[in-house]
Amino acid sequence: MTRFWQAAPSVGHPLTRIEGLDKVTGRARYAGDVAVPGLAYGAVVPATIPRGRVLNLDVEATLAMPGVLAVVHRDNAPRLTDIGEGTLFLFQGDRVAHWGAPVALVVADTPERAREAAERMRVDYFPEPPDTVFRADHPGLYEPEYVNPRNPTVTGKGDVDAALAGAAVVVDAEYRTPAQHNNAMEPHSATAVRSDGRITLHTSTQYAYGVVPTLSKLFGFAPGTLRVLSEHVGGGFGNKGMPPRPDTVLAVMAATLVGRPVRVTLTRPQLWPLTGYRTPTAQRIRLGADQDGRLVALEHRAALQTSRLHEFTEQAAVYSRPMYGAENMRTSHRVVALDVPTPRWMRAPGEAPGSFALESAMDELAEACGVDPVELRLRNEPAVDPTTGQAFSSRRLADCLRVGASRFGWAGRDPRPAVRRDGRWWRGTGVAGAHYPARAAPTTAHATALPDGSFVVRVAASDIGTGARTVLTQLAADALEVPVDQVRVLIGDSGFGPAMGAGGSMGTASWSWPVVTACRELAGRLAAGEPLPPDGLTSTFDSTAAIGARADYARYAFGAHFAEVAVDVTTGEVRVPRLTGVYAVGRVVNPLTARSQSIGGMTMGLSTALLEESSMDGRFGDWVNHNLADYHVATNADVGEIDVTYVDDPDDELNPSGVKGLGEIGIVGVAAAIANAAWHATGVRQRELPITPARAAR
């Protein structure tokens, strides 16, 4: 049953994870698991005001507590260079930018002592009145220069208002999504070990290479000083990407001050203010269509929040730019800077909340026109990217919708809401489209042939659960034309050179580009009879120029989600017994790990739809439900049958391995499909997430 290796060609085979046995036996060491002699432990002292200044820290009393080795704070911390990243500019002054921001770090010889001393530390503040609550009509909303990662803030063509005025059918609705926290199972952890003027940092990061230049600039380290290792990463979902999170800076500072290795592991509640989150959104969609549901106008406006430390604007309205065709279109973003922690990437930033708005509005349009929601989407398929006019490298949305409808059993669906009562449940079904950009970023990889006939591939990739180590092994083996058990892929080491992180669904596309190219080149050199030195023969490839030379296309993965929803007639409890996801994601390297990625994305979408909401108490500037008992993520009992399939999506305009990435598209549109199904079940439109019992049926 267990498939540990597969003869070439390996791509397309369900190879089990290379590190699978290590993970199921507990041998796999994550950042906080690495054994280090002489380790000391750092515990964060968090600010307990949302805005103001630190007046006094009772350092002396803390130092007198048992086992305390040092207190790192504004008066003794290393001076940092301001690199424009306020979340990392720690202990450089007395300002408090948000509740939970570190005001000191207590270092002690045991974790129990560090934590107790940190909790007991007395801090006096000068509080100032905070502005912490996001509102769609906040007077501070403004149009930023660009939205994440570097998208235009506003796009438009035609005259949306005129088209809406003349449209036979208009949908105009506002959709709201709450703040959400990524909550990977492994909390952020960093262990800094200094030796001979160099620092090794074991940390839980999606971007091992990227940590190095950021921290080096911040601390003024010479090149070669810092090495980052992240062999196993316990999930990320955007939460362990760039920039590095404060635990890394704190560990390096503390190790410098106490002259011992120091580990800083954040507690679960500390993840809320310190590691990023998905902004709450308020989105207004205006759709105009003819009687048959053909769009004449599409407008998507998004209001979002950021912090005063750093401007991060989630690209929620970007979802509407390539999705459905209309002659008149406008998308725009406004953001407000509040006295709150800084929002960051969370799985499909932009597309996840944006698709909830647009795909819900499309369902309302289908209702208003009396057109089936699948058919409505098929009628609005654009020939080219409707915003940029670019050709699509491939666009298989229609295939996804048709295949999904067939697998789900959509045909013959009664469009009327609230007519299916089954015992204690109202039942309904819903659909949503999905897309996610297919990108790649410059990366360097090395392939080495060893005299024993085996191969080693090195690339500073991260496997945060995506299966990266496994699929890169398969791709490398096929490029070398050898079985996978002759190839070892080493990742998670910044010393392997520049590499994209595990983010933006770009990992496999970015890493495999130089891996496959270097492996092919190496195979060619060996075939040409080049001699093999005792320490091996190495080919290295940097994909920067090749990526820059690509033709101009709109490159996207597409997908469709179908949901069956049951709503308890008495209580409004919402359950999702069935989800179908169909994706066009280029080449599927490993159907086993791909399926895991897809069901994982859909599960997070389900969790978004029904459960997740970080609850901001504006008086404190704190999300008060900052734990896994009060912030609900889906459990095993919440997830029913999940059907996943992939349609053929050959696309020669991507990268040497033909992959589009599938880490994020699985979440896109799922909340809308569930909300649309909840309406179909009960007749109550769900324009605000999550769909709790309080909202579902009343």
DSSP 3-state assignment of 353? helix
Residues numbered 246-305 forming contacts with another protein, rule: CB under 8 A: 265, 267-269
421 near another protein, rule: CB under 8 A: no
* Per-residue tokens: 650: 């050959």
* Per-residue tokens: 84: 């424009």
Residue nearer to another protein on the CB measure, 19 or 399: 19
Residues numbered 597-616 forming contacts with another protein, rule: CB under 8 A: 597, 599-604, 610-611, 615
379 near another protein, rule: CB under 8 A: no
Residue nearer to another protein on the CB measure, 291 or 571: 571
CB of 655 to another protein, least distance (A): 23
Among 159, 638, 653, 688, binds another protein (CB under 8 A): 638
Using CB under 8 A as the binding criterion, the count of chain residues that bind another protein stands at 95
CB of 113 to another protein, least distance (A): 8
Specify the length of the chain in residues: 698
User: Quick one: which segment of 87-95, 276-284, 556-564, 629-637 binds another protein (CB under 8 A)?
Assistant: 629-637
CA distances from 657 to 225, 481, 507, 588 (A): 34, 14, 12, 10
User: Quick one: which segment of 126-134, 146-154, 532-540, 628-636 binds another protein (CB under 8 A)?
Assistant: 628-636
Among 5, 142, 553, 620, binds another protein (CB under 8 A): 620
CB of 623 to another protein, least distance (A): 9
CB-hemisphere CA count at 13 Å for 259? Answer: 0
Q: At what angle do helices 591-610 and 351-369 cross, to 10 degrees?
A: 70
Instruction: Say whether 60 is catalytic.
Output: no
Residue 679 to residue 559: CA distance in whole angstroms? 22
Among 92, 151, 390, 627, binds another protein (CB under 8 A): 627
Residues numbered 59-88 forming contacts with another protein, rule: CB under 8 A: 66
The H-assigned helical ranges of 430-501 are: 468-480
241 near another protein, rule: CB under 8 A: no
CB of 347 to another protein, least distance (A): 10
33 near another protein, rule: CB under 8 A: yes
Q: What are phi and psi of 446, to 5 degrees?
A: -125, 135
Question: Between vectors from CA 627 to CA 622 and to CA 630, what angle results, nearest 5°?
Answer: 95
Residue 24 to residue 486: CA distance in whole angstroms? 23
Asked if residues 98 and 47 have their Cβ atoms less than 8 Å apart, the reply is: yes
Residue 58 to residue 71: CA distance in whole angstroms? 10
355 near another protein, rule: CB under 8 A: no
Residues numbered 422-461 forming contacts with another protein, rule: CB under 8 A: 424
Residue nearer to another protein on the CB measure, 51 or 113: 113
Among 42, 187, 238, 669, binds another protein (CB under 8 A): 187
Which residue out of 60, 231, 664, 688 is catalytically annotated? 664
127 near another protein, rule: CB under 8 A: no
| Closest residue by Cα to residue 407 from 667, 646, 670 | 646
Residue 365 is which amino acid? L
Residues numbered 86-115 forming contacts with another protein, rule: CB under 8 A: 110-113, 115
If one counts every other C-beta atom within 10 angstroms of the C-beta of residue 579, the result is: 27
For residue 694, give every residue at least 6 positions away whose Cβ sits within 8 Å of its Cβ, in sequence order, or none: 572
464 near another protein, rule: CB under 8 A: yes
User: Quick one: which segment of 142-150, 304-312, 392-400, 571-579 binds another protein (CB under 8 A)?
Assistant: 571-579
Residue nearer to another protein on the CB measure, 20 or 683: 20
Residue 646 to residue 592: CA distance in whole angstroms? 12
DSSP state of 222: P
Instruction: Please give the positions annotated as active site.
Output: 664
